[in-house]
Amino acid sequence: MKIDKAIYTTPEINEEKLISLLREKLPLTKRALRNRLKQLYPDKDIINSILDEYNLIQQKTSLLTKSQRDQIIGFVGLCMIEMVKGNGKENK
């Protein structure tokens, strides 16, 4: 599922919160992955690069290795799950 669709179908997730959480959790990603993204997208912010690659992975057009694709999917998924769980705790 593309990021835009996930944000649209899940009211707990919005783009600003997701970007903020991705920035906060960025140290969880491997340095080699961040370096590869900087190599592929030298003029883009690392967070936008991650989101762009996430969408490319969903379209099956990413140029990353399987391990790197798995890292991005896991990282973005972790942040989305944490965001949804966080909103559930705030609403109780």
Asked whether 15 and 7 are in contact (CB, 8 A), the reply is yes
Asked if the structure places residue 83 within a domain, the reply is yes
**Domain carrying residue 47:** 3-87
Categorise residue 60: left if φ over 0, alpha if ψ from -120 to 50, beta otherwise: left
Asked if the structure places residue 58 within a domain, the reply is yes
Domain count, the chain: 1
Q: Is the pTM of this model over 0.85?
A: no
Asked if the structure places residue 92 within a domain, the reply is no
Asked if the structure places residue 19 within a domain, the reply is yes
What pLDDT tens digit does each residue of the chain (92 aa) get? 566 666 656 666 678 888 999 999 999 999 999 999 999 999 999 999 999 999 999 999 999 999 999 999 999 999 988 887 766 454 43
Instruction: Write out the E strands in 1-92.
Output: none
Asked if the structure places residue 11 within a domain, the reply is yes
